[in-house]
Amino acid sequence: MAGGGASKPEDGKKKARIEIVPLIDVIFFLLATFVLFTLSLNKLSNLPVQLPVAGVGGQVDQSDTTVTLQLSEEDNCYWNKELIGITEVPARLQNYKANTANPRVMIAGDINARYGSTIHVLDEVKRVGITQVSIETRIRPTGK
């Protein structure tokens, strides 16, 4: 048999090949599993909120003595829609706390109110000792 004949692979061994298609399938499976697993780990955190209860027929609570302090761009202050100087706020807050069983203050501002004035009024409310304070987040016209 020397001399000619079909050539065979050496000793009957086949050459190794890497098949890429099954490798791609495995990689996509691992990627999809990882994405689904990480999406299930997202935890939504929330804060407990006590929502107000609606009144019957739009009736106004007559026992509500909340004072609204609105600040304007010109550093004016409105005490329940009454224009006062910002220097009058501490004395009025002390009088309000002394004469009210459950004092509550809501601080509001017009669209151009200054941040510093708002913080100043908030500090005065804290200094007087009123603990029930709300800050209004909707925009309202000056003095309304």
Residues facing residue 134 across a β-bridge: 106
Give the global pTM. Answer: 0.53
Contact 75, 114 (CB under 8 A): yes
> 3-state DSSP call for residue 133?
strand
Measured CA to CA, the distance from residue 138 to residue 144 in angstroms comes to: 12
Measured CA to CA, the distance from residue 24 to residue 26 in angstroms comes to: 5
Residues in the chain, overall count: 144
Contact 108, 71 (CB under 8 A): yes
| pLDDT per position as a tens digit, 65-88 | 888 888 887 777 888 888 888 888
Contact 84, 78 (CB under 8 A): yes
**44, pLDDT greater than 70:** no
Query: Scanning the structure block, which residue is given the tokens 């203050």?
Result: 105
| pLDDT per position as a tens digit, 12-31 | 778 888 788 888 999 999 99
> 3-state DSSP call for residue 30?
helix
> 3-state DSSP call for residue 135?
strand
Higher pLDDT, 65 or 63: 65
**7, pLDDT greater than 60:** no
Quote the tokens at residue 41: 């780990």
- Its CATH class, for the domain covering 67-135, is alpha beta
Q: What is the pLDDT of residue 31?
A: 95
Mean pLDDT of 21-50: 84
Q: What is the pLDDT of residue 30?
A: 95
What are the residue boundaries of the structural domains of the chain, listed by start?
67-135
